[in-house]
Structures are given as C-alpha cells and as structure tokens.
C-alpha cells in the first residue's frame, strides 16, 4: 500500500510539473494562456491596462494611416507659372540693357479632386491672379494645365477645371455635427516644398471667425463658422483637405494664426458642397447677400449686458436687403428664418448661407427693448 501511495503522489507531482511547464512554454512561444479561460485576468491589472492602451493606440494609428492612404491619391499640388518680366539694368560700359527676370514654375498650395472628370477645389486666394498660369500636379507627379478657374465671391473658395478622366476623388463628409476633440488629418504641400505631407491632430474649436488675406496685398476677407485645429498647417497647405478618421473631407485648410503654434483654420465642407451644387446647376456661383456687419453676442455677454443672444448689427450696407427691410445699426438679430442665432453653429452667416438669392426670409430682431419681425428678400452677392 505504501508503494502504491508513493507512486500515486509521484504521478500527481509529475502531472503538475508538466502542466506548469507546458503553460509556461505555450505562453512564451505562442502567447497562449490556458488558465485565462478558467481564471480570466482582470482588465484593471497592470498588464491588462497596458494591453488595452496599446490596442487603443494601434487602432488610432491604423485609422490615421488608412485615412491618408485612401485620400492622398486625390490630393494635388497647385503650382504657378509666373511670366518673365523685362527690366532695365545699367550696362557697366554705359547705357541700359533690357533683361528678363523671373518666370519659372513654383509649387504654391494644395487642392483636392471632387469629380473624376477633372473638377478640383482649392482656396480663392491661391489662384487670385488671373494673369498667371496654374498647373495641377498629382501624387505621381503628372502635370495638368488648369483650363478654367471659377472663384466664389462670398468665400475663399475656387473650383479648378483640368482636362482629364478617371481621376481618383475624395469623399466629402458632413461638417454639421463635428465635435471638439475629434481626430483630424491634413494633407498638403507645406511651404510649397514638401508634397503629400500629412499631419494629424484634433478639432480644437468650432464656430470661429477669422480675417484672411493681407491688406498690403489688396484683399482682406472675413470668414465665419471656421474650424480650428491643432494639426500642423503651414503656408502651402492652403486649399488642402482636412479629413476625419474615415478619410472624409470635413474642411478646407485656409489659414494659420500669425505668431502662434498649432492654431490652424479650415472652411467647413458643407459650405463647399453648397457651392459645388450651385455651380453644377448654373455654371456659376450665386451666393445670398444680406448686407450687415455684425458681432455675435454670446450667452455670457448677453447675461452680463442685459441683452438678447444674437447678432449685434454694427453697420448696414446702403441699398442692401437688410437696409431695404429696415434693419438698423445697434439692432440685435435673434432669429433668421425661424432659427436662433448660435455662435457655436456658425452664427448668422451659416443661416444666411442655407438660403438662396431671391428667398423671402423672416427675421426677428430686438430694438430698444422690444422684439420686432421683418421680412427680407435676399439678393445675390456681387
């Protein structure tokens, strides 16, 4: 009996040792952990937390990588062909010589393809000089001459037409329900030098208002309902796409904040979609025009100054729809077309752009402590 008992104990010990050794080998060589099926590990343990964090990072990186791969074939570089200029130079042996300076091709900005037959989107300020010749360069380096340029008079947008077929296109997303903190990707040609550069970040703010352009170069334009992002944007990224994690374009990169770091801005894609739809129907841009200069009164400012929330009218353009309807300076427009004016949803400009020239729109405003309702007939922006 003692021998049998000894043999049984020895066998049990042997089985335990073999099981332990087998588990260790399977864990090291194959990553298998058989006891996990019997005794699951806690997700809050150090190793479990680390695994979850690693999976999240890998997933986020994969989304960004896939977005870049999917959209980049439809992202192009806009190049400019400047003409040569004749200048007078002094001849060291006396007299004046006529010489040519300048000319040549230089990468300028970015654009993206929205139609397989050669329709592209970029910023208006990128192609503002009608005397220059513009070239589109695709991801593979193939060049196309821009045949026609259609500039949007109300936004910093332009449509370019090249002669081509079967081009890759981007998918246009929806900028109506964006969220601060949402992952975004920018692709472009920063500094007019580094083609197909990609950066990523988040949406830092919504409903921003900015001034673009340079008064010394002859233009300044006010843009409202702008997306703010910390994805690195530089001169040369202008006109390029701002993508969500699904490779859908949700904005057009337009400007950076001077003297700041990682503060860039993009025009919401829904503005572009409206412009493209109008262009395809009429062959031109027709934007509604109200005719007021205004400042948004936030909820906090309204409470602090005993005013209603809305658009405070700072000026009215003579002969505009607003002037003809009786809107005056110091009025506060609280509703436009039955919708409340909300700074976070684009303010007054966003509501005006939902309509078209010729629409009759009801406007509710606050004047001298009383609420009034007016009707406005929108005109076409010139």
DSSP states of 126-161 as a string? Answer: GG--TTSEEEEE-TT--EEEEEEEEE-SSSS-EEEE
Q: Among residues 107, 138, 152, 156, which one is catalytic? A: 156
**Count of domains in the chain?**
3
For strands 171-172 and 248-256, give the pairing: parallel
Task: Please check whether residues 149 and 218 belong to one and the same domain.
Answer: no
**How far is 185 from 58, CA to CA, in rounded Å?**
16
CB 112 within 8 A of CB 76: yes
Task: Please check whether residues 344 and 302 belong to one and the same domain.
Answer: yes
Query: Where would I find the H helices in the chain?
Result: 2-30, 46-71, 269-282, 299-305, 321-325, 347-352
Residue 153 lies in a domain: yes
Residue 20 lies in a domain: no
Q: What is the pLDDT of residues 117-163, one digit of tens each?
A: 999 999 988 898 878 899 999 999 999 999 988 887 667 888 999 99
Task: Please check whether residues 305 and 373 belong to one and the same domain.
Answer: yes
| Look-up of token digits 């043999």 | 7
Mark whether 342 is an active-site residue: no
Task: Please check whether residues 268 and 328 belong to one and the same domain.
Answer: no
Q: How many CA atoms lie within 13 A of 332 on its CB side?
A: 21
Task: Please check whether residues 105 and 151 belong to one and the same domain.
Answer: yes
Residue 21 lies in a domain: no
Choose one of 138, 162, 186: the last residue of a domain.
162
Which residue, among 338, 314, 308, 341, has the nearest Cα to 328 in the 3D structure?
314
Q: What is the CATH number of the domain that holds 104?
A: 2.40.10.10
Residue 117 lies in a domain: yes
Structure tokens at 37: 């099926």
Task: Please check whether residues 207 and 255 belong to one and the same domain.
Answer: yes
Structure tokens at 248: 């859908």
CB 344 within 8 A of CB 203: no
**How far is 280 from 67, CA to CA, in rounded Å?**
28
Task: Please check whether residues 225 and 318 belong to one and the same domain.
Answer: no
**How far is 214 from 205, CA to CA, in rounded Å?**
24
CA angle 139, 143, 147 (to 5 degrees): 120
Residue 214 lies in a domain: yes
**How far is 318 from 293, CA to CA, in rounded Å?**
12
Q: Among residues 125, 138, 197, 244, which one is catalytic? A: 125
Residue 18 lies in a domain: no
Residue 39 lies in a domain: no
Choose one of 215, 247, 281: the last residue of a domain.
281
Which residue, among 22, 219, 2, 43, has the nearest Cα to 125 in the 3D structure?
219
Residue 205 lies in a domain: yes
**How far is 283 from 226, CA to CA, in rounded Å?**
26
**How far is 275 from 278, CA to CA, in rounded Å?**
5
Cα 371 to chain centroid distance, Å, stands at: 37
Mark whether 355 is an active-site residue: no
Rg, C-alpha atoms of the chain? 30
pLDDT (tens, 9 = 90+) of the chain, 382 residues, equals 555 555 556 656 665 655 655 555 555 444 545 555 554 555 445 555 555 555 655 666 788 899 999 999 999 999 998 776 665 565 555 555 556 666 678 889 999 999 999 999 999 888 988 788 999 999 999 999 999 888 876 678 889 999 999 999 999 999 888 999 999 999 999 998 899 999 999 999 888 877 665 443 444 566 777 899 999 888 899 999 999 999 999 999 998 887 777 889 999 998 888 778 877 776 666 677 888 888 888 778 878 888 888 888 988 888 889 999 999 999 999 999 988 887 666 678 778 877 877 889 999 999 988 999 999 998 876 6
Structure tokens at 82: 């400047």
Task: Please check whether residues 158 and 197 belong to one and the same domain.
Answer: no
Task: Please check whether residues 127 and 85 belong to one and the same domain.
Answer: yes
Task: Please check whether residues 255 and 330 belong to one and the same domain.
Answer: no
Q: Among residues 175, 197, 204, 238, which one is catalytic? A: 238
CB 234 within 8 A of CB 191: yes
Task: Please check whether residues 186 and 274 belong to one and the same domain.
Answer: yes
| Look-up of token digits 């340079």 | 214
From the CB of residue 140, how many other CB atoms can be counted at a distance below 10 Å?
A: 6
Task: Please check whether residues 342 and 370 belong to one and the same domain.
Answer: yes
Q: What is the CATH number of the domain that holds 319?
A: 2.30.42.10
Choose one of 122, 142, 162: the last residue of a domain.
162
Mark whether 238 is an active-site residue: yes
What residues make up the domain containing 316? 288-380
């Amino acid at each position: 009996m003692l021998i049998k008992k000894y043999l049984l104990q020895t066998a049990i010990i042997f089985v335990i040792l073999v099981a332990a050794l087998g588990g260790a080998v399977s864990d090291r060589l194959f990553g298998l952990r058989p006891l996990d099926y019997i005794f699951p590990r806690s997700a809050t343990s150090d190793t479990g937390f680390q695994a979850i964090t690693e999976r999240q990072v890998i997933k986020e990186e994969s989304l960004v990588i896939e977005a870049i791969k999917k959209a980049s074939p439809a992202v192009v570089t806009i190049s400019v062909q400047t003409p040569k200029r004749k200048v007078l130079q002094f001849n060291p042996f006396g007299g004046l010589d006529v010489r040519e300076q300048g000319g040549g091709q230089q990468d300028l900005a970015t654009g993206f393809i929205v139609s397989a037959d050669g329709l592209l989107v970029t910023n208006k300020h990128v192609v503002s000089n009608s005397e220059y010749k513009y070239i589109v360069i695709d991801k593979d380096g193939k060049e196309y001459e821009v045949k026609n340029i259609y500039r949007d008079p109300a936004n910093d947008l332009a449509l370019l037409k090249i002669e081509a077929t079967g081009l890759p296109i981007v998918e246009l997303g929806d900028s109506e329900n964006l969220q601060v903190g949402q992952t975004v990707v920018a692709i472009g040609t920063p500094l007019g030098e580094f083609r197909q550069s990609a950066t990523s970040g988040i949406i830092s703010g919504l409903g921003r208002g900015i001034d673009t352009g340079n008064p010394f170069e002859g233009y300044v334009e006010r843009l409202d309902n702008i997306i703010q992002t910390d994805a690195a944007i530089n001169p040369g990224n202008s006109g390029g796409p701002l993508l969500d994690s699904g490779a859908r374009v949700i904005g057009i990169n337009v400007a950076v904040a001077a003297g700041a770091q990682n503060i860039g801005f993009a025009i919401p894609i829904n503005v572009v979609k409206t412009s493209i739809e109008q262009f395809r129907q009429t062959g031109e841009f027709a934007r509604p025009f109200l005719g007021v200069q205004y400042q948004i009164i936030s909820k906090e400012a309204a409470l602090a100054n005993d005013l209603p929330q809305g658009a405070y009218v700072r000026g009215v353009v003579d002969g505009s729809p607003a002037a003809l309807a009786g809107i005056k300076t110091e009025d506060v427009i609280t509703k436009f077309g039955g919708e409340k004016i909300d700074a976070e949803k684009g303010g007054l400009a966003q509501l005006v752009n939902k309509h078209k020239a010729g629409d009759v729109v009801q406007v509710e405003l606050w004047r001298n402590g009383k609420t009034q309702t007016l009707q406005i007939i929108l005109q076409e922006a010139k």
